[in-house]
């Protein structure tokens, strides 16, 4: 038994990030101090392969970037520990999941509420049908990417969760006609 295997597993090991509620650290809300993580060409190739298929087995990942499986495992573990890889997620098709209507809702908060934007961001992320929440600089405080079963469901969401909230000053709802997940990495 190695010293590493004899220690009690951390909370992250007992509850992988893809199976537990995201924390501010998972979602990148906390500002990180210090220098950006130094990444070499192999790290970038690993990230590109993981972005393309997060379920790729370690031996196939290693082969795809031209390194040994043990080296691959060590590098991916380091990328996770450094926060470069924040988690692994299922890409769920809202249409096939019964929520074919997507929208971006711009939200502007009342003046006094702006001191609590980070806390409000987390509240918005918990609302049903919310896919993404963006805290913004500019005319609006948030963009919400939501999926709803139909126009009535979207209308109900805006009224029940946003328009009736006294902290919300304004909402603007923009329908999404097409969406494509970008493979930015």
Domains in the chain: boundaries: 13-29+38-90, 101-176
Q: Which fold has domain 13-29+38-90?
A: Arc Repressor Mutant, subunit A (1.10.10)
Q: Is the pLDDT of residue 98 over 70?
A: yes
Tokens coding 123: 């509240």
- Which pLDDT score, from 0 to 100, does residue 21 have? 42
- Which pLDDT score, from 0 to 100, does residue 32 have? 53
Question: Which residue stretches of the chain are H helix?
Answer: 3-6, 11-14, 24-27, 41-52, 58-65, 69-81, 117-125, 151-157
- Which pLDDT score, from 0 to 100, does residue 185 have? 74
- Same topology, domains 13-29+38-90 and 101-176? Answer is no
pLDDT tens, residue by residue, 19-37: 344 444 544 444 355 578 9
Spatial distance between the Cα atoms of 131 and 167, rounded to a whole number of angstroms: 21
Q: Is the pTM of this model over 0.75?
A: no
- Which pLDDT score, from 0 to 100, does residue 27 have? 45
- Smallest CA-to-CA distance from 169 within 129, 141, 136, 137 is with 141
Three-state DSSP state, 36: coil
Three-state DSSP state, 33: coil
Tell me the CATH number of domain 101-176, given options 3.40.80.10, 3.30.70.920, 3.40.50.720, 2.40.50.100: 3.30.70.920
Rounded to 10 deg, the angle between the 41-52 and 58-65 helix axes is: 130
- Which pLDDT score, from 0 to 100, does residue 113 have? 86
CB 145 within 8 A of CB 132: yes
Spatial distance between the Cα atoms of 151 and 157, rounded to a whole number of angstroms: 10
């Amino acid at each position: 038994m190695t010293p590493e295997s004899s220690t009690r597993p951390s909370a992250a090991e007992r509850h992988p990030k893809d199976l537990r509620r995201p924390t501010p650290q998972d979602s990148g809300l906390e500002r990180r101090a210090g220098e950006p993580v130094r990444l070499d060409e192999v790290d970038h190739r690993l990230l590109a392969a993981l972005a393309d298929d997060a379920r790729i087995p370690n031996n196939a990942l290693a082969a795809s970037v031209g390194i040994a499986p043990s080296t691959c495992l060590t590098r991916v573990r380091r990328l996770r520990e450094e926060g470069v890889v924040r988690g692994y997620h299922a890409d769920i098709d809202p249409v096939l999941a019964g929520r074919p209507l997507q929208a971006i809702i711009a939200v502007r908060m009342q003046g006094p509420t702006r001191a609590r934007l980070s806390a409000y961001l987390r509240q918005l992320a918990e609302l049903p049908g919310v896919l993404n929440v963006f805290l913004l600089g500019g005319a609006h405080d948030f963009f919400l990417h939501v999926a709803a079963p139909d126009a009535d469901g979207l209308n109900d969401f805006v009224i029940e969760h946003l328009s009736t909230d006294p902290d919300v000053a304004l909402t603007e709802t923009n329908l999404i006609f097409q969406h494509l997940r970008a493979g930015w990495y």
